[in-house]
Structures are given as C-alpha cells and as structure tokens.
C-alpha cells in the first residue's frame, strides 16, 4: 500500500507516455480519499485524468464490470464519463503488479447546489435510461446491496476492530440489527439491477451539453431507489422533489411508490457502512486520521449511536404510511445533513 500513497508525478507521467500520450509535465492531484486521481496536461493543451484504484478494494474483474457498464450506457447515448481504451483495446492496466489504473477524459461541469423541478425531471429521465440499461444484464462479480454487504459485514468489521466503545456498543449493535431486520422485510419484492450506487449531487455535473453522471466506482446490483434518495431533500421539499424526478423517470420506466419505503432504511444502513469505510482505512491510510480526527473518540460513537437510534425511531414512525415523505407527517427538516449522508470519498 505504501506505493499507492506515494505515487509521484514522474511515475504517472511515464505511464502516460507508455500509453501513447505526450504529457507536458503538468500533473495535479485531485481530491479523492478512496482512489488516487490526477489531472495531466498534454503537449497539445488538452487534459486527461489518470485514476489509480485503491489496492484490495476491487479486483480486476470487478473494475472491468464497472467499465463495461459505462460502455453499455455510452452506447445508448446516456451522458456518462467512460474510460479511454489503451492501445491494446483494454480499459485497465497494472502498475508495479499491484495497482490498477486507467485513463479518462477530463470533463468540465459543475455540481448543483439546488435542483429545479425541471432539472429533476431531466435527471429522472436519465436515471430511468441508466436503469433500463442496468436491467439488461446483471453484474456477476460486483457486490449486491443487501443486509450482508451494507449491514452485517460493516458491523462485524467495526466490532472486530473494537471501534465502538463499551458505553454504546450494545445499543449500536441492537439498533443496527433491528434496522437490518426492517430492510430484509422491505426489500423482498423490490427488483435489483445494475445501478450507479452513489448517486449524489457531487457525482452529477452540468456542462456545455447538459447533465451527466460521473464516478461509478460504487456501482452494484441494487434497488432503483438507491439512486434517488441522495438527490432528494427531507420534509415537504423532498416530497415535491420526488414528484418532479418521478415524472421524468416514469416517461421511460415504471417505479412503484412503495419502493420509497426503503429510503430511510437505506440512509440508516449508510451510517454503519460509512463508519466501517472509515475504520477500514483509518490506520492504513495517513490521510484518514486527518480527514476524520474525531473518529476514534468516544464522543463520535455516542453521537453515532444516538443518531442511529433516532433514525430507527423515524423509520418506525413512518412505517405503514403510503410513502416515507408524507405530507401530514414529513421527515424533520431541521436536522443538518452531513457528508455521511452524501459523500464517500471527497475531501472537504
């Protein structure tokens, strides 16, 4: 792993030259905690992006499945950013026999602060088209979003690492297991297919040609609603946004209202999954203690436990209603959203 953290511009520029590019010498690291990503300027003034995948997270077959999904989407003229092929026709190569890397076009655009009803409708259409392609064939090697991959496995990692203090361990464990029981019940009749998996506003850009999606690093088999909820606000505003995005989505694809019952359960599972993601890298990656200085403290975990319990109670309060975003009893709007609600691998 040391080589992964110590990638230097000389090595990166040499790899670009071997791939047939003519780099000018400009090599700028971009903000990413999960992978190592660099902007390279070429002699003709154009730019490419080099992406080095964190060793041990995805294997070659899994990364190539991500690339294949992107290619499938591109063939259907869906606006996504897909990797550039090497001279041998492959989209992935290997550095020092242990670090996978790829080259990507640099795309210009900005992430939205707010999404208007019309923009949400457009995004809904694009998501439906992504999911239509996603349903055409399954992932065979990438993970499936289920209670094991997004619940029991992350929880076990936290327990084995002794991250959760004894003062709140029992409550954290019991609350998580109750949430996973609710997930198991709610997911039974929900179809799973290839999805983006981490569809928040930071992975949605608006450029010269309109909206497009980036960073499919977390793509997996999962329910369509996983690609909805991180784009939606809470409370009455979220209800209105949901109707806008659905109006576009349903032009291309069906979506059952009952699938929204998963939103707050998925949000709760993300609490646990996010903490496990930090824990798995905290001692091995020098950037993580800096990015998450309070993670190893008791205060962090007591707050996490309290918020997890509040989320569980919210799920119980909303269960049995037609939708989680109810007009008569909407989700509280005063609770501040944090990076955990949206982002995985971007530094502040």
- Catalytic residue numbers read 198, 215
Which of these, 261, 213, 224, 274, lies nearest to 246 by C-alpha position?
A: 224
Quote the CA–CA distance of 321 and 310 in Å, as a whole number. 18
E strands present in the chain: 23-30, 36-42, 47-52, 93-95, 99-105, 193-195, 204-207, 210-213, 220-222
CB 102 within 8 A of CB 91: yes
Interatomic CA distance for residues 12 and 10, integer angstroms = 5
The verdict on whether residue 345 carries a ligand-binding annotation is no
DSSP annotation of 101: E
What lies within 8 Å, CB to CB, of 331 at 6+ separation is 234, 235, 238, 264, 314, 318, 324, 325
CB 279 within 8 A of CB 161: yes
Whole-number Å distance between alpha carbons of 229 and 242: 9
CA 256 – CA 190 distance, rounded (Å): 9
> Alpha-carbon distance 261 to 240, whole Å?
16
**Is 271 strand, coil or helix?**
helix
CA distance 222 to 238: 22
Q: Give the E-state strand segments of 184-276 in sequence order.
A: 193-195, 204-207, 210-213, 220-222
Other CB atoms within a 10 A radius of the CB of residue 268 amount to 26
Alpha-carbon separation of residue 21 from 2, 10, 114, 260 (angstroms):
27, 14, 38, 47
Q: Which two tokens stand for residue 296?
A: 């190893």
Tell me: is residue 39 an annotated ligand-binding position.
Answer: no
Annotated binding site for Mg(2+): 203, 215
Annotated binding site: 203, 215
């Amino acid at each position: 792993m040391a080589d992964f953290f110590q990638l230097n511009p000389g090595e990166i520029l040499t790899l670009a030259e071997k791939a047939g590019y003519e780099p000018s010498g400009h090599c700028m690291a971009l903000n990413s905690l999960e992978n190592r990503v660099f902007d390279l300027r070429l002699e003709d003034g154009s730019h490419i992006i080099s992406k080095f995948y964190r060793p041990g997270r995805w294997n070659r077959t899994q990364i190539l499945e991500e690339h294949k999904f992107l290619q499938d989407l591109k063939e259907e003229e869906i606006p996504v950013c897909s990797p550039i092929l090497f001279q041998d026709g492959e989209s992935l190569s290997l550095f020092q026999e242990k670090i996978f890397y790829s080259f990507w076009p640099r795309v210009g655009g900005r992430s939205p602060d707010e999404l208007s009803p019309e923009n949400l409708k457009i995004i809904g259409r694009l998501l439906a088209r992504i999911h239509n392609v996603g349903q055409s064939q399954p992932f065979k090697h990438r993970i499936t979003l289920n209670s094991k991959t997004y619940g029991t496995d992350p929880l076990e990692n936290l327990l084995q690492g002794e991250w959760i203090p004894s003062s709140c361990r029992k409550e954290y464990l019991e609350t998580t297991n109750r949430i996973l029981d609710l997930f198991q019940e709610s997911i039974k009749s929900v179809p799973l297919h290839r999805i983006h998996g981490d569809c928040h506003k930071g992975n949605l850009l608006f450029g010269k040609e309109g909206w497009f999606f980036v960073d499919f690093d977390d793509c997996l088999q999962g329910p369509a609603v996983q690609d909805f909820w991180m784009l939606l606000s809470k409370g009455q505003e979220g209800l209105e946004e949901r109707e806008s995005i659905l109006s576009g989505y349903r032009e291309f694809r069906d979506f059952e209202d009952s699938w929204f019952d998963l939103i707050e359960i998925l949000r709760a599972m993300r609490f646990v999954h996010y903490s496990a993601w930090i824990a798995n890298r905290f001692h091995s990656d020098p950037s993580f203690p800096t990015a998450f200085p309070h993670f190893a403290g008791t205060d962090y975990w007591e707050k996490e436990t309290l918020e997890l319990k509040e989320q569980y109670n919210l799920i119980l309060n909303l269960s049995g209603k037609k939708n989680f975003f109810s007009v008569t009893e909407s989700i509280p709007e005063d609770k501040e959203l944090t990076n955990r609600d949206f982002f995985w691998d971007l530094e502040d």
